[in-house]
Amino acid sequence: MSNTEREVHDAARRAKDAAADLAPMSRADKDEALAAVADALVAEAASIVAANAEDLDRARAAGETEAYLDRLALTEERVSAVADAVRAVADLPDPVGEVVFGSTLPNGLELRQIRVPLGVVGIIYEGRPNVTADAAALCLKSGNAALLRGSSSAYSSNTRIVEVIRGALEKTGVPADAVQLVPGSGRDSAQALMSARGLVDVLIPRGGANLIQAVVRDSTVPVIETGAGNCHVYIDEHADLDKAVAIAVNAKAQRVSVCNAAETLLVHEGIADRFLPRFLREIGDLGVTVHGDDRVRAVDDRAVPATEDDWATEYLSMDLAVKVVGTLDEAMAHIRAYSTGHTEAIVTDSQAAARRFTSRVDSAAVMVNASTRFTDGGEFGFGAEIGISTQKLHARGPMGLREMTSTKYIVTGDGQVR
């Protein structure tokens, strides 16, 4: 066993002990700890931003894109927003102990299924250091210990944020080892976390497709897969034109560097002549490069030719693939071929088209007359989220507090034997 693996596994053992102490804690104790964490983040905002500046300097020197820098950057306002998200988690109902199901069996045994923490949750994530506080808060509230392994690009930011969180926890009844940064910043530390089966109960990757695929492929720890977001918006022939333009522009351009931003726009040929000139003008004026088919390029000569790769690309940038389709079925077939199962949207005034779309499109979230940007734990009222699960086992969609629990059965008898 290498030194890195030994250090990571030792951290996991400490997390396991902390999880055992955290699991039975009352909501009041956990909420007090979260309030202390939020206050500490605000109080130490300047030091967190200073640490983040080190990460940004390295990223700029490495030639990273503006979209990447946006995901990485922290300001005092963003740190304050992170603290608000922690407080929002504290305000949410505690899922631990919730009775999912209960009955009395014919033999008199009382059966209850209740929510319990997952235990030790390892999280491997890229870029965005706000995930560090979000993940810690969700794990603490749901009674889980968090082993956090952010990207090396945000190492200074993540280190400082975890120091602040642990310092706050030390003043409460929650063990500080309930939140730990995984030792090391190289690939070997991630590999060590992925090999800690028996010490780590579940591993959640959050980031780009390459990271997620690597964790799913290499981990011996059970993985909850959070997927990349090749999200689609389909403009139906029965769409209201004003709604269609507003939704399509928002889904792409409101914030391009996030997984719920639209990457492909499909337009029914029956509305294309009315929709495309207005939409392409607005989206082009915002600086978005359109990768379009022949029909799209005929409307706006700023559009570049779309390739096969464009339909499968999660840009996370000021780029959008646009295609004109002949039917709703053609749109759904395109989505089946290229979607990552994250979020798809239809804009239509036809109830029949909406029903057909929602029943046949198989993604974690399907929107009707609303932007894909709403697929978010905060927007759904869950508070902060770990990520958007695109798999079908355990959890699907935004992973809030309930999704951070499992269940167990409590069986109470009065001497029954089988």
- Write down the domain spans for the chain: 3-226+386-412, 231-374
> Scanning the structure block, which residue is given the tokens 């269609």?
244
Helix-strand-coil split of the chain, %, nearest 5:
45, 20, 35
The whole-number pLDDT of residue 184 equals 87
The whole-number pLDDT of residue 307 equals 96
- Least Cα distance to 132 among 113, 105, 92, 160 occurs for 160
Q: Is the dihedral of CA 282, 285, 291, 297 positive or negative?
A: positive
Rounded to the nearest 5 degrees, what angle is found at the Cα of 182, between the Cα atoms of 119 and 1? 95
The whole-number pLDDT of residue 208 equals 77
231-235 and 262-268 strand pairing: parallel
Please give the radius of gyration of the chain, using alpha carbons only, rounded to the nearest integer.
23
> Scanning the structure block, which residue is given the tokens 């209960």?
102
User: Is the separation of the CB atoms in 256 and 317 below 8 Å?
Assistant: yes
Classify domain 231-374 at the CATH class level. alpha beta
Buried b (16+ CB within 10 A) or exposed e, 209-246: eebbebbeeebebebbbbbbbbbbbbbbbbbeeeebbe
Successive 10-residue mean pLDDT values, the chain, 418 residues? 92 97 96 98 98 96 88 94 93 95 96 97 89 93 97 94 98 96 90 96 88 91 88 98 98 92 98 98 97 96 96 94 98 97 97 98 97 92 81 88 95 96
Strand partners, 290: 320
Q: Which CATH superfamily is domain 3-226+386-412 in?
A: Aldehyde Dehydrogenase; Chain A, domain 1 (3.40.605.10)
Q: pTM, whole model, 2 decimals? A: 0.85
The whole-number pLDDT of residue 400 equals 86
- The pair of three-digit structure tokens given for residue 81, joined into one six-digit string: 């927003």
In sequence order, the 6+-apart residues with CB closer than 8 A to the CB of 399 are 138, 204, 224, 226, 377, 385, 386, 387, 388, 389
Residues 391 and 402: their CA atoms lie apart, in Å, by: 16
Residues 176 and 163: their CA atoms lie apart, in Å, by: 10
User: Cα 228 to chain center, whole Å?
Assistant: 9
Q: Is the dihedral of CA 11, 13, 14, 19 positive or negative?
A: positive
Neighbours of 393 (CB within 10 A): 10
